[in-house]
């Protein structure tokens, strides 16, 4: 049997069904936000920017903006739920 050992346990890949048997990444889901933000920024800016030589700088700026907004919203929601 083919299996992969992760930090959270062993997962069988012989009959792995992604939506029915997801990988046990419950404790690490927040780290998946960074690649998601980068992909969203690259796709959006690749469509919107006129000169592709400016693409890396524009993507970096947008990744920063999205990250700052996500952190601010997380702090705001944390304050609302824990303080009030």
Residue 16 confidence (pLDDT): 75
Q: Is the pLDDT of residue 24 over 80?
A: yes
Per residue in 43-84, pLDDT (tens digit) is 999 999 999 999 999 999 999 999 999 999 999 999 999 988
Separation CA 76–CA 10 (nearest Å) = 37
Q: pTM score > 0.85 for this model?
A: no
Residues 6+ apart with CB under 8 A from 11: 3, 4, 5, 21, 23, 24
**DSSP-derived secondary structure for 26-52:** GGGGGGGHHHHHHHHHHHHHHHH-S-G
Structure tokens at 64: 């920063």
Q: Are 33 and 66 in contact (CB under 8 A)?
A: no
């Amino acid at each position: 049997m083919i299996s992969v050992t992760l930090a959270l346990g062993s997962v069988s890949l012989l009959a792995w069904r992604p939506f029915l048997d997801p990988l046990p990444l419950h404790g690490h889901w927040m780290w998946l936000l960074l690649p998601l933000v980068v992909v969203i920024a690259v796709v959006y800016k690749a469509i919107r920017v006129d000169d592709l030589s400016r693409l890396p700088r524009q993507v970096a700026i947008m990744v920063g903006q999205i990250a700052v907004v996500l952190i601010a919203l997380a702090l705001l929601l944390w304050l609302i739920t824990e303080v009030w």
